[in-house]
């Protein structure tokens, strides 16, 4: 039976109960959000969609307040963590964090398609580190050849967005 | 058009290996070190926790198919069709939970969280009066 969103059908209830049963048995729920096309309109602040995040936020003030309230209410239960999982870099993701989350609303962010992880430190600062599974040799080669690759993408692959993604 | 390796013959092997990690869609270009995948890092971060993944694009599918026995996913109305198809799930499968909100991006996300919150707290709907 399809899980209809506006009513809790019997099957929806069953599956939610199985998720919550795990949570009540000591696991936490981890609400994990992609950014583009999920939390916001797709591809903001890129060549594909030059609209700024601030302009989008201005159009969605009420939705953003509702989102913050819902996240904070779930976090208050103590049973849920909240995270972001995106292909974007930290420059853009940090702006999303400022616009969409209250101070303690976000537990961590997986950024750059899984290459990096951002976790909060004290004083509103964030710690950035490579994911543990990243191949260090591959990472070093990517750093070494980054200018060559960016030049190639610009000249031979139709350009690059204003984020060096 | 020259390939990356042809432009830099001295480092041909390494550069050609890297160029295999460049993916692009009509709207974006992504350059990754090899072996990087949202799923691997997601599995590293969730540990014993139970993810409920909100995604819209094909690049989210690997994360949606995470290691947990119960797959819990949400795809807003604007999600790509393969994502919505995956989130609909196998109707006969146990351990699969998916929600397809009736609205796009953040409105759909709020819709789904309303349902999750209401069911978790055993209330009829999210109490809008809650403020931090």
Residues 6+ positions from A18 with CB-CB distance below 8 Å? B70, B95, B97
CB contact under 8 A, B88 and A114: no
Q: Which residues of A touch B28 (CB under 8 A)?
A: 43, 46, 48, 87, 161, 165
* Closest-approach residue (CA) in chain B for A65: B131
- Is pLDDT at A75 greater than 70 in this prediction? yes
Of A15-19, A47-51, A61-65, A105-109, least confident by mean pLDDT is A15-19
Are A76 and A114 found together in one domain? yes
Residues A142 and A91 in one domain: no
Q: Are residues A105 and A152 in the same domain?
A: no
Residues of B in contact with A36 (CB under 8 A): 56-57
Check: complex ipTM more than 0.85: no
- Using N-to-C axis directions, what is the helix angle for A61-76 and A90-100, rounded to 10°? 80
**Do residues A142 and B4 lie in contact, with contact meaning Cβ atoms separated by under 8 Å?**
no
Cβ neighbours of residue A106 closer than 8 Å, sequence gap 6 or more:
A82, A83, A84, A97, A120
Q: Is there a single domain that holds both residue A88 and residue A36?
A: yes
Report whether B62 contacts B41 (CB < 8 A). Answer: no
Residue B74 bridge partners (DSSP): B54, B99
Tokens of B43: 């599995």
Average pLDDT over residues A13-23: 79
Tokens 């604007």 belong to residue:
B78
CB contact under 8 A, B50 and A5: no
pTM of the model: 0.80
Whether residues A164 and A145 fall in one domain: yes
Same domain for A81 and A119, yes or no, is yes
User: Which CATH number does the domain housing residue A99 bear?
Assistant: 3.40.50
- With respect to residue A73, please indicate whether it lies within any of the assigned structural domains: yes
A63 and A141 belong to one structural domain? no
Q: Residue A34 is nearest to which of B28, B36, B54, comparing CB atoms?
A: B54
- Count up the domains in chain A and report the number: 2
**Which of A28, A38, A48, A154 is the mutation pick for testing B, counting most B CBs within 10 A?**
A38
- Residues of chain B with Cβ-Cβ distance to A40 below 8 Å are 105-106
Note whether A113 and B31 are within 8 A (CB).
no
Residues A106 and A139 in one domain: no
For chain A, the residue count is 165
Over the stretch B93-103, which tens digit does the pLDDT of each residue have?
556 778 889 99
Q: What is the span of the domain harbouring residue A68?
A: 10-133
Please give the mean pLDDT across all residues of chain B.
79
Least confident range of A47-56, B9-18, B61-70? B9-18
pLDDT in tens, B91-127: 545 567 788 899 999 999 999 999 899 888 888 778 8
A81 and A117 share one domain: yes
- Other beta carbons within 10 angstroms of residue B63's beta carbon come to 24
Together in a domain, A41 and A90: yes
Terminal C-alpha separation, chain A:
40
Reported as a pLDDT band with limits 50, 70 and 90, residue B76 is very high
Rounded-to-integer distance, Cα A10 and Cα A80, Å:
24
A135 touches B33 (CB < 8 A): yes
CB B38 within 8 A of CB B32: no
């Amino acid at each position: 039976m399809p899980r209809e969103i506006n009513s809790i059908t019997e099957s929806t209830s069953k599956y939610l109960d199985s998720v919550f049963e795990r949570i009540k048995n000591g696991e936490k729920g981890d609400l994990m959000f992609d950014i583009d096309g999920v939390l916001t309109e797709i591809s903001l602040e890129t060549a594909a969609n030059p609209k700024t995040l601030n302009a989008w936020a201005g159009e969605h003030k009420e939705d953003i307040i509702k989102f913050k309230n819902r996240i904070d209410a779930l976090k208050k239960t103590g049973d849920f963590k909240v995270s972001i999982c995106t292909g974007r870099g930290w420059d853009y993701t940090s702006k999303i964090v400022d616009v969409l989350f209250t101070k303690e609303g976000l537990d961590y962010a997986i950024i750059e398609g899984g290459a990096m992880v951002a976790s909060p430190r004290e004083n509103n600062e964030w710690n950035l580190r490579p994911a543990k599974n990243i191949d260090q040799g591959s990472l070093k080669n990517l750093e070494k050849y980054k200018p060559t690759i960016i030049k190639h993408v610009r000249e031979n692959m139709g350009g690059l967005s204003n984020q060096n993604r | 058009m020259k390939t990356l390796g042809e432009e830099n013959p001295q480092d041909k092997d390494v550069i050609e290996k890297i160029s295999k990690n460049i993916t692009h869609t009509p709207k974006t270009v992504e350059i990754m070190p090899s072996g990087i995948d949202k799923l691997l890092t997601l599995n590293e971060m969730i540990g014993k926790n139970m993810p409920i993944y909100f995604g819209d694009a094909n690049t989210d599918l690997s994360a949606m198919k995470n290691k947990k026995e119960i797959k819990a996913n949400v795809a807003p109305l604007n999600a790509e069709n393969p994502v919505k198809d995956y989130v609909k799930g196998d109707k006969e499968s146990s351990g699969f939970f998916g929600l397809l909100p009736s609205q796009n991006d953040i409105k759909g996300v709020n819709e789904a969280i309303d349902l999750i919150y209401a069911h978790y707290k055993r209330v009829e709907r999210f109490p809008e009066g809650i403020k931090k």
